[in-house]
Amino acid sequence: MDDTFSNKFVADEKNLAVLNETMWGPNGIRQAEELASHFQITRDMRILDLGCGMGLSAMYLAQAHGAEVFATDLYADPTGNYERFKSLGIADKIVPMLLDAMQPLPFAKRYFDVIFSVGAYNIFGDNEEIF
């Protein structure tokens, strides 16, 4: 087994159970890890995770990099995500939110260092207002 975060994460039975319960398609942790490998993420960054679903990409960003993450989704229950983040000991690093990425976002300009999206950009990415 290689030494990636995603492989270490699933080596723990509790984490593997979380992953199996929350995947809405491909492994969001592995996809987030691959995407994040193309740029530097640091502990002092604030990241907007658009379309986080059940929070797998947000969990990766908080656990692997220590970044502060705003985990947003239009369909996933933010309370369920919060409870999951709390059970993993990372609720202090992630703010779960119900948010429609197609609407004006309720954040100050330049509030985030990174806008991150795994598996959801195809749903809202054609909106010119998003950026």
Instruction: Indicate which CATH number applies to the domain containing 39.
Output: 3.40.50.150
Tokens in use for 71?
Answer: 């985990």
In a domain, 128, yes or no: no
In a domain, 127, yes or no: no
Tokens in use for 126?
Answer: 């054609």
In a domain, 43, yes or no: yes
pTM of the model: 0.81
In a domain, 86, yes or no: yes
Collect the ranges in the chain with pLDDT lower than 70.
1, 6-7, 9-11, 15-20, 22-27, 121-131
What per-residue confidence (pLDDT) applies to 72? 96
What per-residue confidence (pLDDT) applies to 94? 98
In a domain, 59, yes or no: yes
Structural domain range at position 72: 5-119
In a domain, 130, yes or no: no
Counted domains in the chain: 1
Q: Max CA-CA distance within the chain?
A: 43
In a domain, 125, yes or no: no
